Structure 1
Amino acid sequence: MLHLRVITPSDRTDEVVLLIEKTVGTTHLVVLPGAARDPAGDVVMCDVAREAGDELLAALRGLGIDTTGSIAVESIDLSLSERADRAEADAPGEGADAVLWEQLTDATHEESTLSVTYLAFITLATMIAACGVVLDNAILIVGAMAVGPEFGPLAGLSTAIVRRRPRLALRSLIALLVGFAAAMAVTVAFSLFMDAVDLFSEQQLKADRPNTGFIYAPDWFSFVVAVLAGIAGTLSLTSAKSGALVGVAISVTTIPAAANAAVALSYGDTKQTWGSTEQLLLNLLGIIVAGTLTLLAQKWLWSRQPKNAP
């Protein structure tokens, strides 16, 4: 279930209340006349089944409530109410299959912001992965994958394509390009420093690396895994099962590939640099294609569900 808190101008309250009452899957309607001060107006609250949430949000935006007032949505972790159970049963479809497009767009917008924190995480993850590739240490590689924040902009790009949001697409693309460029540049400097203090060596990079050699040797399996990870990651975002994102993060080699390319570049190893770059681009492409197709499939499947009726 979702909890909606709407601030509406007093002259639009009746329309909002009527809309909520007509939407199948809503319950626990509360109206507080004159309770809002900034912006001034009435407060209308209700609970709505997740599968009816997107339709209700779209209708509220159609009334202009997002510009004249506000619409806030929260997930309800526990609701002990027979009315709530009945509302969920009456709403068409399954809550786990429903996509809250406004929530998804907002979440990916935030995750796609090029911030100091984002740059710090992607740079630290790449530096950790650099240690992993030089030492041929799979544990460090997995740790770097888990730290990397790159799935946010990738999901943002897929969402922007499906939702036709050019600004979100541009924001996501900038975060990806600038983030990886900055992380790799810092990692090159980090690699040179580690070499200067005898912690990295070119011999380690060029030695047999059974645990990490795949990073600079892309093949079709790399693309297949990226596609599967993109599907899983997108489903975890749309179904609010964020725990699955950790598994997605450690199944693709974006961060390790960037790290291997940076270390190889610092030693002038063009073969590994190019192979790692191919691996990076292949993974990025697979995730974006899979994420976009998954969202399109979800949108189509949900359009086949019976609509709410008064």
Structure 2
Amino acid sequence: MRPSLHALAFALLLLAGAAAHAEVKVEFEAPVNLFLDRSLILFSPTPIRRYGDPQSPSPLLFEAQVAPNLFFPQLSAGDIRKPSGEWVFTAILTPHITLRMLNEKSSPVIPPSFMPKVTFQFLRLRLLDPTPGGHRRALALGAHVIVGHYSNGQAGCFFASQAGTDPDCTPEDGEPPLNETAGDFSTNFVRWELHGRLAFDLDGASMTGWVVGGHAGFERNLSIGPGGITEQIRGVYGDSHADVALLGERLWSGHRLHLEATLSRPFGGVEGQGPTVRVEALAAPHWAAGFGLYARYVGGRDYYNILFLEPVHLWQFGLSFELGPGARLREAVTQHASNHP
């Protein structure tokens, strides 16, 4: 059984167990929206390095991450206000695209990153009883199985020392440096993620409180199917990647201040890639309807397709967009606050 079918079968079995004690509902219009990608428009004072580009390092004019999350009908069972909580299962299609435009003579858009993926998401949501001090709390747990593709849409040879077009490159074998201006980069992958959020000191009526949490992820590169990773790319890029993150949020009057730190590293591939650290900050006013001011620092290796061997200390600033957790979840928190004054 393929990983995506494993995820679907596992989620349906768990949902069936929950359904034995509660009615299964299908949500079409107001799905719970947690633990998913955001869209970004970023600017940076940090130049971008590309081997083979005579103007490198080049100033980054802007970077855009377009990641709409398209929900399939969402299944749920249970009640978020009861001790057993609510169980939610859904599938989300994300046509994830990232592109960079460099501030060179022709302001070129360098080969973009295509990462379409399907996320099978299983959630457990629970509004906890107030603490002895009267503080209200909520818990959200999530498990993801993600199946996707990652490429840059190029047909050049992977190594700079090779001539021709992929797969007819000479010599057949090569070694770094990579053809970072036009080289082919492609892999399929399966990724597993665990997420957790604890909200406390909640006031549902005024949408005020604190949130702490984190996630852990493990991603395996696959040669299965069109666009799968080749042994040549695997030997440099690696077999898999893992990451862990910690985060905190302050909520007040519906406004959000979010801080998150992520540590990631590859396994396999060429030696010396090492870990990469990413620190993100987001300030999202309630009245901005999902938009927020965003800043990010990336230290380690570049995350942009075939540039993964380039060392970076990248500072970025711009706008973020992500939808809230959903009207149904907000309504449940507000009602919980009213029932526990």
Bin of the TM-score, shorter chain as denominator length: under 0.3
TM-score normalised over the length of structure 1: 0.24
Structure (1 or 2) with the larger CA radius of gyration: 1
